[in-house]
Structure 1
């Protein structure tokens, strides 16, 4: 919304009683002012306002009785603030925004950088944040939708519960195995992945999603070499009882239909002291691949069910406790790749179905408080993750002594506990500091079995167990060198211990061993914050611990080797943020370079069995940018990244032939979106067109197994209307019905060049939301 009106002018307005967020949007359009409504989700309903009033008086009446107020942040600009914060910890005040138009994204306080008062608009990092309400209006439900709205984030397309996530072109291969994830995925205080694929949690009732780029070893420890994606859920609200229900249906051209139900309920238990929030969903996504050999139509369907519960207890004005529980189950009836091409873009011939399952559950708790001399945050989480997947291994049947069909079944049982305590404080106006302790334990039990897939006895069963513990002492200091210049120095002293045991039934392949890594991960940031610009330079490091391979070793010193060396990434970045034209134009740009040594990558041996290889050393450099321009009810945004990942020193024990690419994401990608918000009768209507292009990608798994994606176009058109307590959303995905091969890998037992993972055919969606 444009903010052109003067603060003391009188305007004629007519806003009906409705939820405060939609009432403010209505008022902003009528009065021509800018209001940051990102905090209005937790406010009570508005009684409306009618008549010719000053802006201050009209806003006062709109917010009367909602437990919220409109706080002026500039000429013609306000921000909505709750009177009773759900987390009333005494913290250092957030700096006031400049006298410019605030936006939902720039003015949010981000937490992925492990600070409590950092505005995104002043963040000296490659950090982006997407508002949860915006994602809800657009129908975004997973990280693939997030990747279409920020630069440098890549999600593979193996299928829900099997995907990997990469940032800034740093990829270790498209399949998930024993190597720890390159990107740390977090839901509030819960780490979602270690060496498992993305659990594909539905983005339901989300406050925001933050993407922090570059190695984050000093802040997050092992497994955040590429960056961090943090999903922040909406906290329980002490202010009132309310809820939201959504039903959705979708039709896919040539595929099965889809549907989803989502419910959120917020309820105070003790007035102004204790509240709970429940979120549940049940979703079915229809398949669209036909298997002509097995006589299957529309295979690859998914059923996702989830429940999330959270409680918030305000112990005192300075202390709060939060606790939560999460459980989700994903059932996928088959994989979603195709093989026939031509006129049969969504068809294949296989000997066996390839179902998979992904079960995730966890509990967590945290305490926040003010000690007077410092602010304390302590958190603990415990989680378990179960994975089951089948591959059609028929082409390798003879290698296992089978005639006819063969199946590889892989079962993973993962458990983890993570504990952290952190103190933040200030020494005068120039120095702020933080220090903390971290400890985690992680256990991964894996069983791989090969059989005929028809119920016969397994001809190979391999068991392995890996136990990893990490302990760390970390801290940083931020010193104001001058009025506009800050220096941040931080480090993490850590120890990673790995214990491994494995055996293959009926063979002499047994091994037990342990390994440890002790090191320091530093971080250095220099920033210059002046007026509409923030310039910064940073250097940081990420790491992953050592490991082991089970089963048969390579001949003649070739991989797989028994021990897997730890890898390390050292990166530098120069960047800037800007807010110009009275806040209507804003964005960020950065150039980056990263050196990666002893790259760990999950691969397959000659029989198709998984192992982890050290590929050698690599490097990536690139440039990225994000921009948003607002004019009246129109918003245009664009995001792009160009990078050059390469293998600079291949490991001679695992040569990739003439291929010198890192295994690998596209060298470039670009996305753009055009949004229009308007008032139509009693409805607030938001229309969006989004286009994106992901460039060509080579997927090198071995000298004889190389796949490629020639690049693909993504598209979405959507309309969202809010009328009082009701909302309706309609959208079309893949507008041009493209079947381009996406970035994925289908099956290690079949030639990669014969496999494609096409985009989902054109799909129309319709959703209805009711707030109560």
Structure 2
């Protein structure tokens, strides 16, 4: 394995910009905050005063009357809290937290001891991020390719899926095969259009709990989410296998130990030329034992109308989705320094048909097929974690158990003759997946300059898959393959961060791991059962150098990611031709140089990075000449690129822009499955750019928020096999939304695909039909209207 420590890192930092002065405690400053919802008011105030404010507790606070004049921070916050039923408490030097109080009389900010659990300081979008596996890292100081989106902002924008997140950060790609069937890619590193036996490139997490192994994105509805974090680049040292491209972490809102309250949202949608949709979402928080025990429950039921017509089958508006989900969490404060959290999640997605077309540009929303292609995605899981202070370190232990069921059908009629059928043919694929994941992590420090973390990780994963061929009309099966794969991973990991000076810090870490694989499979008509075992034992390192100077943070890092070995079922051709019986493990070694900046008193924020990645023995889920799935090693590849994100806030206006340019290529194809020399890595565009403008105005007790977003995703190539390839010419995205909030009521109107474009977003839909004839058009112009009530 190539060692990331062999990557040369040089940081040249000569910036001597003075630190921005911070208004603290009793120092008087000029402030002007207009009447508005308290959350946005404290964000405005934090910007003006230069202090950090935890705004997570403002959800149940009333609107503020505003504050104006030359005042100290404490007095200004006290006046800002008048009539809101909330109070600002100081939790550190220049750091405050907003909490709900039982009585409504005005109270002044008071000084209290810092709580044993970490708080979330917020200045604008200045949050503590946890995807980097630390509990006290501010986003503006993060020496990584890390982005964080606030859950309130996503709610106001009507974002309920990760494809909406992808439109607001650079480098995140969500394929468009269909809800519950999509894959996630980051920074141009893609291993193919479909999910199969190869482990996912992106680690998908909910509250530090890994959701998937080799399954597609379960498409959890982003209901009652505190924030979504996107951590780029290989993260093998932090997260282990399955994080070669990065990590996407969804952080839900924790149960509130103070009071009973809730929120309900009802939404309706109309799609041009398609079927209507609707959604209902409910959240209830209840403090069972005040300041000790609380539960939080979120439920939703959603229908998304289809928009594809099948002329051969006489069907219209196919591809509709029905999604139902329930999530519950409980928080128990065992002692002032120890907490126990438990949770449960269940979601079901039913899709009546796939959403691709094949009749060309003149009929972009039509196709002709012999059979419908329904799919289903069932996900459920439970988890528990304990968090506490040992005195010499902070401990966090977590365990989760989950199951994932997938069912999908492909119309296989073009290959009917290969299986002895004379009419229609269907491939039905059923996957049953189960996982148990356990981790214990310690964080501590030796003095002010040295911080450390260490932990143990263990997981067990079982994937059972059945692939069957029949006529799709209820007749007997003519082909059946059944396989079972069991994967266990154990790891010991740790890192240490040492501050060489007040501005220069170095972090080094590593993960010692073992991945074991057991495979059993059998195929009808083949008397030989396939079995095998394999293992990978190695160390993956990580090195980060950061220079933090005033408004700038410069960093350089080298890191590694990996996936374990595997097996292919059924007959194999032998020799050097793929599929081979064994699938070799693959790895990515990557380097990155980047910078973050906060300028003009916090109004301008952003980051930029250049990166390079070397990918060895690329694993990719593919289809053979008959359309049956297998896993190939494509060879070696490389990606290099540049990305940037910037945000400007000035009064009621917020402008943001995100872009990435990368050059993913297959530099050394495996001769047993050659896709051609210098072939593009599949399923990811060479560049993409997005931008948005938000205007927020406060009128009496109402807040009016408007948002316009535009984006462009460049051309994309998908090489499915040595003889099959497809290409998307690029597409434009657009949306417009207007929302009004008055006390406990909110209404928003949203329009997606403003120009009603039908550009192809994903040139894959079915392995049995030529990719060049397939397009997945954008959803036509869709208007949504949502009403939210808080109680």
Q: Does TM, scored on the shorter chain, surpass 0.5?
A: yes
Inter-partner Cα distance in structure 2 for 1:13 and 1:186: 37
Q: Deviations over 1:164-188 (max 9, x none)?
A: 0000000001111100000000011
Compared CA separation, residues 330 and 618, structure 1 to 2 (3 A): same
Inter-partner Cα distance in structure 1 for 2:692 and 2:118: 36
* Cα distance, 1:361 vs structure 2: 0.2
Structure 2 counterpart SS, 1:687: strand
* Cα distance, 1:744 vs structure 2: 4.7
**Are 1:148 and 2:164 counterparts?**
no
Q: Deviations over 1:681-701 (max 9, x none)?
A: 431111111001000010001
Aligned equivalent of 1:208: 227
What TM-score does the superposition give when structure 2 sets the normalisation length?
Answer: 0.91
Aligned equivalent of 2:379: 360
Is the 1:183–1:225 contact (alpha carbons within 8 Å) kept by the matching residues of 2?
yes
Is the 1:71–1:78 contact (alpha carbons within 8 Å) kept by the matching residues of 2?
yes
Structure 1 counterpart SS, 2:140: helix
* Cα distance, 1:727 vs structure 2: 0.5
1:712 aligned residue (731, 736, 741): 731
* Cα distance, 1:285 vs structure 2: 0.1
User: For residues 590-605 of structure 1, what are the structure 2 equivalents within 5 Å?
Assistant: 590-605=609-624
Inter-partner Cα distance in structure 2 for 1:51 and 1:703: 67
Aligned equivalent of 1:382: 401
Compared CA separation, residues 722 and 703, structure 1 to 2 (3 A): same
Structure 1 counterpart SS, 2:418: helix
Compared CA separation, residues 454 and 12, structure 1 to 2 (3 A): closer
2:251 aligned residue (220, 232, 240): 232
Q: Deviations over 1:216-247 (max 9, x none)?
A: 00000000000000000000001111111000
Q: Deviations over 1:121-161 (max 9, x none)?
A: 00000000000000000000000000000000000001100
2:78 aligned residue (54, 60, 65): 60
* Cα distance, 1:530 vs structure 2: 0.6
Compared CA separation, residues 149 and 50, structure 1 to 2 (3 A): closer
Equivalenced residues, count: 754
**Are 1:81 and 2:98 counterparts?**
yes
**Are 1:46 and 2:65 counterparts?**
no
Inter-partner Cα distance in structure 2 for 1:425 and 1:58: 36
Compared CA separation, residues 421 and 66, structure 1 to 2 (3 A): farther
Superposed CA RMSD: 2.5
**Are 1:409 and 2:428 counterparts?**
yes
Structure 1 counterpart SS, 2:178: coil
Is the 1:38–1:104 contact (alpha carbons within 8 Å) kept by the matching residues of 2?
no
Q: Deviations over 1:273-300 (max 9, x none)?
A: 0000000000000000000000000000
Inter-partner Cα distance in structure 2 for 1:615 and 1:444: 23
Is the 1:89–1:320 contact (alpha carbons within 8 Å) kept by the matching residues of 2?
no
Structure 2 counterpart SS, 1:340: coil
Unpaired runs of at least 5, structure 1: none
1:545 aligned residue (540, 564, 575): 564
Compared CA separation, residues 408 and 432, structure 1 to 2 (3 A): same
What TM-score does the superposition give when structure 1 sets the normalisation length?
Answer: 0.94
Inter-partner Cα distance in structure 2 for 1:155 and 1:197: 11
Inter-partner Cα distance in structure 1 for 2:656 and 2:123: 13
User: For residues 184-223 of structure 1, what are the structure 2 equivalents within 5 Å?
Assistant: 184-223=203-242
Inter-partner Cα distance in structure 1 for 2:355 and 2:59: 43
**Are 1:653 and 2:672 counterparts?**
yes
Structure 1 counterpart SS, 2:673: coil
**Are 1:104 and 2:124 counterparts?**
yes
Is the 2:57–2:98 contact (alpha carbons within 8 Å) kept by the matching residues of 1?
no
Is the 2:58–2:98 contact (alpha carbons within 8 Å) kept by the matching residues of 1?
no
Inter-partner Cα distance in structure 2 for 1:598 and 1:52: 62
User: For residues 459-470 of structure 1, what are the structure 2 equivalents within 5 Å?
Assistant: 459-470=478-489
Aligned equivalent of 1:181: 200
2:579 aligned residue (560, 581, 602): 560
Compared CA separation, residues 574 and 351, structure 1 to 2 (3 A): same
**Are 1:90 and 2:116 counterparts?**
yes
* Cα distance, 1:68 vs structure 2: 3.7
* Cα distance, 1:104 vs structure 2: 3.0
Is the 2:189–2:639 contact (alpha carbons within 8 Å) kept by the matching residues of 1?
yes
Aligned equivalent of 2:744: 725
Compared CA separation, residues 761 and 92, structure 1 to 2 (3 A): closer
Structure 1 range deviating more: 558-567 or 658-667? 658-667
**Are 1:734 and 2:753 counterparts?**
yes
Compared CA separation, residues 478 and 290, structure 1 to 2 (3 A): same
Compared CA separation, residues 50 and 699, structure 1 to 2 (3 A): closer
Inter-partner Cα distance in structure 1 for 2:244 and 2:365: 36
Aligned equivalent of 1:172: 191
1:453 aligned residue (472, 478, 481): 472
Unpaired runs of at least 5, structure 2: 1-21, 102-113
* Cα distance, 1:190 vs structure 2: 2.0
Structure 1 range deviating more: 48-57 or 234-243? 48-57
* Cα distance, 1:48 vs structure 2: 5.0
* Cα distance, 1:551 vs structure 2: 1.0
Is the 2:318–2:354 contact (alpha carbons within 8 Å) kept by the matching residues of 1?
yes
Aligned equivalent of 1:672: 691
Structure 2 counterpart SS, 1:653: helix
**Are 1:421 and 2:421 counterparts?**
no
* Cα distance, 1:46 vs structure 2: 3.4
* Cα distance, 1:389 vs structure 2: 0.1
Aligned equivalent of 2:659: 640
Compared CA separation, residues 709 and 48, structure 1 to 2 (3 A): closer
Aligned equivalent of 2:767: 748
Aligned equivalent of 1:505: 524
Aligned equivalent of 2:104: none
Inter-partner Cα distance in structure 2 for 1:753 and 1:33: 57
* Cα distance, 1:39 vs structure 2: 1.8
**Are 1:326 and 2:345 counterparts?**
yes
Inter-partner Cα distance in structure 1 for 2:382 and 2:264: 24
Structure 1 counterpart SS, 2:500: strand
* Cα distance, 1:189 vs structure 2: 2.8
Compared CA separation, residues 475 and 78, structure 1 to 2 (3 A): closer
Q: Deviations over 1:573-603 (max 9, x none)?
A: 0000001111111100000000000000000
User: For residues 554-633 of structure 1, what are the structure 2 equivalents within 5 Å?
Assistant: 554=573, 556-633=575-652
Inter-partner Cα distance in structure 1 for 2:362 and 2:133: 51
**Are 1:685 and 2:704 counterparts?**
yes
Is the 1:60–1:70 contact (alpha carbons within 8 Å) kept by the matching residues of 2?
no
* Cα distance, 1:14 vs structure 2: 8.3
Is the 2:35–2:700 contact (alpha carbons within 8 Å) kept by the matching residues of 1?
no
Inter-partner Cα distance in structure 2 for 1:405 and 1:459: 12
Inter-partner Cα distance in structure 1 for 2:33 and 2:664: 56
